[in-house]
Structure 1
Amino acid sequence: MTTTHTADLWPRLLPPCATADDPRAAVRLFDGVKGADGPWRPVRPLLVGADTYRDLVRLSRRAAELVLSAARRRADTARDLLAALGSRPEDYPLLDPGDPVEDRLLTAVRPDILMEGGVARFVELNVDGALGGVLQADLLSGRFLDRYRRCGLASRLGLSAAPSAVRARAEALRTFLGLRRDAAAPVLMPHFTGGHLPGLDDCARFADWLAPVFRHARDHGMRMFTHPLTALTTAPDGTLLAGGRAVGAVFRTFVSHGEPPSAGLTALRRALDAGAVRMFTPESTMLLTNKITLAWLWDDLDLLDPADRRLVETHVPRTVRLRPVDRDTLGLAVRDRAGWVLKPANGFGGSGVVVGAAAADADWRTALDHAARQGGHVLQRYVDADRTAMRFVRTADGEVADAEVPYVLGPFLYGLRGSGLLVRHGTPAAADVLNAGRGAAMNTALLAGG
């Protein structure tokens, strides 16, 4: 673990503890940002070179295209892809089995990238319209950039924000749903209950948090509104109804298998089956997030041209589908515990991830045996993530602490074009898995150097 090659330019451009203001004032910029409201808040964003950001977007775009190609070699439809992945149909209650595996599935992408010795490593490739962190990244980059402009730091370092992910998503949403910009088309964003967003327990607070999203939707000719997912109904002809209001377009920001079964979820499925509603994005996009697709890239190396083969070997940690009959892989993982991470192939939020280096021998063997019997897991080579020096303030008492922490970079791609940049990083109290649900802090990055 090293800070020598960190992609975060702050320690090279400024003292690690330097901020544009008192640290206790700086952390207030995280007020109201879900995922950044833990016991320790950072006092600054990361600074990433503009050229580095463009390289990450380029690599992300090609990695997504390679994953789609690997899927298309195995499946023509969502039904085929579900079978190839060995996934359970009940995990995708809104899935159209006949949905074709085609380019439009890559309309929304956000990888999880660890840097190792300055080299980008794609540990996950998230594909779905419900990608998390879009608004958080936009809000934080705007707040920090405004502060640094006022103190002169922005002009001194040539700082800018990545293009707005909220704006890019609104354009992708309108295009994907086939809505005219001048139509003022109503679009429902269902209020759901499972996740980490503000207001999941209150529909009005949910709408307040999403005000910037609704504003960008209006700018793109959509009248977005929210209504409880559980209260959706359908008319006899399959038309979806939200409080009696007919709905023809839905922006799905929830993971359906993370929601409890409800009459509203069934109503949405009924409307989709009837062709009465269009949804951004269909659940077929989520199938590409399955980490088995990264294992397919390694399985297919001989089918790739030299440039793509180098991309996989350099930027995608070796990923292997774990099968109970593959005793060689299991034996290797037992002998080289510190070199592997065990992951649920279809998991999210860091749930079920076991880092071999952090596990006792007996616990590691038990986890491997259970995962092999259960199925639906991958082994991925451990990435010795670069770290960066950060300063934090503990919200309970204002204590200031410095720590060298690992970080994940997540550039958003809508229509395979780069927009915002989400960052998750460790804190003085965070666990080994960099997820907001496991103590990591959600942050953003500003671009340096034009």
Structure 2
Amino acid sequence: MSAATTEEIAQAFTRLCRDSPVLRSVAAELAGGKYRWEGVNGGYLARPVFASLDDLHSFVGDLLVTLKAAIALPRRLFDGDLDRYCSLLGIDERRAGLMRRPGTVPTLYGRADALHDGTGFKLLETGLTSAVGAVEQIDVGPRRWMMLPEVASFVRDHRLGFVSAAETLVRLMREAAGAVRSGRDPVVVLAEGPGGLVRFGQGWAPLQRVLRNFGIDCRLAELGDLELRRNRLLLRTDSGDVPVDVVFRCFNSDQVLGHRDGPAMLDNVIRAHSDGLAVLWSHLSTELFSNKGCLALLSDPRWQGADERERQAIDRILPWTRLLTADDRPGLSGLLAECRERRTELILKPFVGYGGQGVIAGWECDQRRWDEALDEAATGNAIVQARVRPAPERVYDPRADREEPWDVVHGILYSPHGYTGSFARALPTGTGAVINITTNPDTRLSAVFHHGEVGGDGGRAAEPGDPSRS
């Protein structure tokens, strides 16, 4: 008997939901946006999302190859001249100087956004940075679902599982700290930029709780609370100075440059890292390669920035992507003309941004607005990318006793170990090109359960766990 497909598992869950009064009640509350699980920021989809473990591992394998090719771009295309590379991607000199400070090579850790088009996952952005959320949500969603006995049985019967992003992160933190102080769990600081705790601290508190539940001494602080003194990196607290082993970067270059003393604060951490006194996870150099302009350099054959093996991996996951900037003058007029004709199949994205800010989908505007957007983008820094049509997820709404199509974007965490876990965001099909809580309050979060195996290894089977660990 062949293994069930993703669609077949989803249909089986819908049948379970129809037959179970308890599950129908929970799904109805979720569908109405009235039910929120503790520790989850936002409404939840009325059912989990299911994904092939083989698809997830294959995507992350190709993604890591793609990221390594991206990191090689300055050497391959610009003879190692980072100034030329940064100029093309709209990275100003002050910001480029911050990213190029001695510290670490880019750590391959982050959260990629991807759509599944029915054949495989397609990359929307790499999210190459430690300053990504949702680590705790990847664990809390599956565990909350499995608190329902019917769902726990369903998970066992279909041999579903999930990868604990929190467990992986704990392992990474212990490995990183081993270079500084071995033999005990490290002191980890989730470090925000100057003034960042007021705005973002509440968002990092769930991750702090998760790491503490795994035995990690985890603190929330700002860069200005860290001081290099007495041959240690110290965290100043009301109860005294605490030696720090790992600084988990929750800030970006904007926050550092937005404070007059920000670069000096960062220097303390970079010097501690360079001298082997503490570990910075991860350095701002990741921003050199999370810039969406990198995707165009990798996609456009004119740049020839990849070898044959890399090209195959890139082509499998990356949609057609092109630079749309005045600095890329060769072929710009021809590209603009092509983009005007292909309006309904293209989407505009700024080089830098999060939460869908500044994104314009050609199929959501008329020709005049699209032409204006193209002309404006060509004077700034943007990419144009081929539209990815996600395979719709049929989600049962008990209130109306019917299934409705939803579009789902997968947030797929990755690390040097490979696939690190995932969650999903969803919108009713046709209600928005950008599926993000920041820009569309109708966006719902979803747990992701995987099915199948990869060479007999991969994610462990899901087990009903103590939800307090999430």
TM-score range for the pair, normalised by the shorter chain length: 0.7 to 0.9
Aligned match of 2:460: none
Q: Given that residues 226 and 268 in structure 2 are in contact (C-alpha distance below 8 angstroms), is that contact kept between their aligned partners in structure 1? A: no
Deviation for aligned residue 1:270: 3.6
Q: Secondary structure at the match of 2:126?
A: strand
CA distance in 1, matches of 2:16, 2:371: 42
Q: Given that residues 110 and 128 in structure 2 are in contact (C-alpha distance below 8 angstroms), is that contact kept between their aligned partners in structure 1? A: yes
Aligned match of 2:73: 70
Superposed, 1:189-228 pairs within 5 Å as 189-190=190-191, 207=205, 210-216=208-214, 218=215, 222-228=216-222
CA offset digits 1:129-167 (Å, max 9, x no partner): 1122211111112222343566521222112112x1112
Deviation for aligned residue 1:399: 8.3
Aligned match of 1:55: 58
Superposed, 1:61-210 pairs within 5 Å as 61-74=64-77, 76=80, 81-91=85-95, 95-98=99-102, 102=105, 105-147=106-148, 152-162=153-163, 164-177=164-177, 178-190=179-191, 207=205, 210=208
Deviation for aligned residue 1:204: 7.6
Aligned match of 1:438: 439
Q: Secondary structure at the match of 2:258?
A: coil
Determine which of 342, 350, 371 is the counterpart of 1:365. Answer: 371
Q: Given that residues 232 and 243 in structure 2 are in contact (C-alpha distance below 8 angstroms), is that contact kept between their aligned partners in structure 1? A: no
Q: Given that residues 203 and 228 in structure 1 are in contact (C-alpha distance below 8 angstroms), is that contact kept between their aligned partners in structure 2? A: no
CA distance in 2, matches of 1:29, 1:55: 34
Q: Which moved more, 1:297-306 or 1:245-254?
A: 297-306
Deviation for aligned residue 1:274: 4.2
CA offset digits 1:55-85 (Å, max 9, x no partner): 2332333332332333542465866653453
Q: Which moved more, 1:118-127 or 1:254-263?
A: 254-263
Q: Given that residues 295 and 321 in structure 1 are in contact (C-alpha distance below 8 angstroms), is that contact kept between their aligned partners in structure 2? A: yes
The residue type equivalent to 2:76 in the other structure is R
Determine which of 242, 246, 251 is the counterpart of 2:248. Answer: 251
CA distance in 2, matches of 1:202, 1:113: 25
Deviation for aligned residue 1:367: 1.2
- Cα 1:174–1:74, aligned 2, differ >3 Å: closer, same or farther? farther
- Cα 1:192–1:307, aligned 2, differ >3 Å: closer, same or farther? closer
- Cα 1:428–1:293, aligned 2, differ >3 Å: closer, same or farther? closer
- Cα 1:87–1:7, aligned 2, differ >3 Å: closer, same or farther? farther
- Cα 1:330–1:185, aligned 2, differ >3 Å: closer, same or farther? same
Q: Which moved more, 1:275-284 or 1:411-420?
A: 275-284
CA distance in 2, matches of 1:341, 1:442: 23
Q: Which moved more, 1:70-79 or 1:229-238?
A: 229-238
CA distance in 2, matches of 1:204, 1:355: 32
Q: Given that residues 173 and 186 in structure 2 are in contact (C-alpha distance below 8 angstroms), is that contact kept between their aligned partners in structure 1? A: no
Q: Secondary structure at the match of 1:436?
A: coil
Q: Given that residues 47 and 447 in structure 1 are in contact (C-alpha distance below 8 angstroms), is that contact kept between their aligned partners in structure 2? A: yes
The residue type equivalent to 1:113 in the other structure is A
Q: Given that residues 46 and 446 in structure 1 are in contact (C-alpha distance below 8 angstroms), is that contact kept between their aligned partners in structure 2? A: yes
- Cα 1:298–1:150, aligned 2, differ >3 Å: closer, same or farther? closer
CA offset digits 1:81-115 (Å, max 9, x no partner): 53453312455785343457x5xx24303322112
CA distance in 1, matches of 2:406, 2:107: 31
Determine which of 373, 378, 381 is the counterpart of 2:383. Answer: 378
Superposed, 1:281-360 pairs within 5 Å as 281-300=282-301, 304-324=306-326, 325=329, 326-360=332-366
The residue type equivalent to 1:294 in the other structure is L
CA distance in 2, matches of 1:79, 1:242: 37
CA distance in 2, matches of 1:232, 1:331: 52
CA offset digits 1:338-372 (Å, max 9, x no partner): 12111001122110000011111111111111111
CA distance in 1, matches of 2:231, 2:316: 52
Q: Secondary structure at the match of 2:146?
A: helix
Q: Secondary structure at the match of 2:407?
A: strand
CA distance in 2, matches of 1:93, 1:303: 24
- Cα 1:356–1:388, aligned 2, differ >3 Å: closer, same or farther? same
- Cα 1:106–1:259, aligned 2, differ >3 Å: closer, same or farther? closer
Deviation for aligned residue 1:122: 1.2
CA distance in 1, matches of 2:75, 2:340: 33
CA distance in 1, matches of 2:59, 2:264: 40
Aligned match of 1:3: none
Deviation for aligned residue 1:287: 1.9
- Cα 1:201–1:273, aligned 2, differ >3 Å: closer, same or farther? closer
CA distance in 2, matches of 1:434, 1:150: 26
Unmatched 5+ residue regions in structure 2?
454-470
* TM value normalised by structure 1: 0.81
Determine which of 426, 451, 458 is the counterpart of 1:448. Answer: 451
Matched residues, percent identical?
A: 19
Deviation for aligned residue 1:390: 1.6
Answering whether residue 258 of structure 2 is matched by residue 261 of structure 1, we say yes
- Cα 1:155–1:186, aligned 2, differ >3 Å: closer, same or farther? closer
Determine which of 227, 230, 242 is the counterpart of 2:236. Answer: 242
Q: Which moved more, 1:281-290 or 1:9-18?
A: 9-18
Q: Which moved more, 1:275-284 or 1:354-363?
A: 275-284
- Cα 1:264–1:134, aligned 2, differ >3 Å: closer, same or farther? farther
- Cα 1:330–1:417, aligned 2, differ >3 Å: closer, same or farther? same
The residue type equivalent to 1:97 in the other structure is R
Q: Given that residues 117 and 390 in structure 2 are in contact (C-alpha distance below 8 angstroms), is that contact kept between their aligned partners in structure 1? A: yes
- Cα 1:259–1:25, aligned 2, differ >3 Å: closer, same or farther? farther
CA offset digits 1:308-334 (Å, max 9, x no partner): 433333421111111234111111111
CA distance in 1, matches of 2:242, 2:81: 30
CA distance in 2, matches of 1:245, 1:93: 31
- Cα 1:259–1:106, aligned 2, differ >3 Å: closer, same or farther? closer
Deviation for aligned residue 1:279: 1.8
- Cα 1:423–1:71, aligned 2, differ >3 Å: closer, same or farther? farther
- Cα 1:230–1:392, aligned 2, differ >3 Å: closer, same or farther? farther
- Cα 1:208–1:85, aligned 2, differ >3 Å: closer, same or farther? closer
Q: Secondary structure at the match of 2:448?
A: strand
CA offset digits 1:157-196 (Å, max 9, x no partner): 112112x11121222233345344424432221356999x
- Cα 1:96–1:127, aligned 2, differ >3 Å: closer, same or farther? same
CA offset digits 1:387-428 (Å, max 9, x no partner): 1112468xxxx8888531111123211114212112121148
Number of aligned positions between the proteins: 426
Q: Given that residues 232 and 241 in structure 1 are in contact (C-alpha distance below 8 angstroms), is that contact kept between their aligned partners in structure 2? A: yes
